[in-house]
Structure 1
Amino acid sequence: MHPVEETLAAQVHAALLARGETVASAESLTGGALGDRLSSTPGASATYRGGVVSYATDVKQALLGVSDELVATYGVVSAQCARQMAEGVRALVGADWAVSTTGVAGPQLQEGKPAGTVHVGLAGPRGTTSVELHLAGDRREIRTRSCHEALAALLGSLTAQ
């Protein structure tokens, strides 16, 4: 893991620890890499509850409660899906916070959207939001940057409240 991501993950852990709160992750395009980062900090078991890698649409629906209507209306590469994924994993594992990633790592289009279109969902005690990203690079770079941006968004939410 890159040192900047190690620092971000450690900062997330410290912020959660200071608040006495926990986090969970729900991932699609990042395929477990975000959970790896969240669990890599020493002592992470005090703050990281676990995660779901929901690469396939039916897994998003069955495990995270992403609705058929949402998939039909907005698709899985959407802010709505990212928010529902975060809410679903937060409830599933009983975490105070949840972060999710969904999008297109490439190289092909998905749902008519180009590689680098990514949505990060954040669910917490005061509600749910999402961040839309447009990232450049190859598949590996998009996945890595998605993890970085998800950690940064989570840290921003933790330190803003």
Structure 2
Amino acid sequence: MTDTLATEVLALARTAGVMIATAESCTGGLVVGALTAIPGSSDVVDRGFVTYSNAAKREMLGVAADTLNAHGAVSEEVAAEMALGALSHSGAGLAVSITGIAGPGGSEFKPEGRVCFGIARNGGTPRTETIEFGPLGRAEVRAASVQHALILLRDALI
């Protein structure tokens, strides 16, 4: 299903003439990997940022230290800044961001399986959402996050 969805995203981006960037934390580059696994993707995939640490989020995407301190890395506020940072540090017109707790672990306030997403277009206000995938296991949370990110990209291009 991921291959089919990635292929659809690429086709829609081609039709729209839009380049895509990703800003990934808990997925570690799996979204851009799914897109670039499709032959010919280089005409619409600009780049992927893997910003696993808070320092990387600040240095590569310009996420504000104040935002990280106030809300934590796993938050819609950080997801919004990640998506906007991916746009401003790339040639893309559409960016998706993912930050979450794939597991194992988590806390009472930020449980395993909580993933925050951001989607942003040049000149627009980013949209964010949080999905509670639950304690499915690390691989399953990451796979579900990739699927959801591709759906967000697809829906933004329709």
Q: TM-score, normalised by structure 1?
A: 0.93
Structure 2: runs of 5+ lacking an equivalent? none
CA spacing shift, 1:110–1:56, aligned 2, 3 Å: farther
Which range moves more in the overlay, 124-133 or 103-112? Answer: 103-112
**Whole-Å Cα distance in 2 between the matches of residues 79 and 127 of structure 1?**
13
Tell me the number of residue pairs that the alignment of Structure 1 and Structure 2 aligns: 156
What per-residue deviation string (whole Å, max 9, x for no partner) do you get for residues 102-147 of structure 1?
0000111169411110011101133211121010310100001000
Counterpart of 1:55 in structure 2 is 52
Q: What pairs up with 1:141-152 in 2 under 5 angstroms? A: 141-152=140-151
The reply on whether 1:46 has 2:43 as its aligned counterpart is yes
- 2:86 aligned residue: 89
CA–CA distance in structure 2, aligned partners of residues 124 and 118 of structure 1: 20
Q: Deviations over 1:38-79 (max 9, x none)?
A: 211221000000111000011101110010110111111000
1:158 positional shift: 1.1
* Residues 1-161 of structure 1 mapped to structure 2, 5 A cutoff: 4-109=1-106, 112-125=109-122, 126-136=124-134, 137-159=136-158
For 2:106 and 2:137, locate their aligned partners in 1 and report how far apart those are by CA, in whole Å: 13
Could you say what secondary structure the match of 1:107 adopts?
coil
Is the 1:39–1:45 Cα contact (8 Å) retained in structure 2?
yes
Question: How has the CA–CA distance of structure 1 residues 55 and 111 changed in structure 2, closer, same or farther, with 3 Å as cutoff?
Answer: farther
Alpha-carbon offset, residue 93 of structure 1? 1.2
Letter in 2 for 1:38: L
- Runs of 4 or more off by more than 6 Å in structure 1? none
The CA distance in 2 between the partners of 1:127 and 1:42, in whole Å, is 31
For normalisation by structure 2, the TM-score amounts to: 0.95
Give, as a single letter, the amino acid of the residue that structure 1 aligns with 2:154. L
Do the aligned partners of residues 53 and 110 (structure 1) sit closer, same or farther apart at CA in structure 2, a change above 3 Å counting? farther
Q: Is the 8 A contact 1:23 1:96 kept in 2?
A: yes
Any idea what SS the aligned residue of 1:93 has?
coil
Does the Cα contact within 8 Å between 1:104 and 1:110 map onto a contact in 2?
no
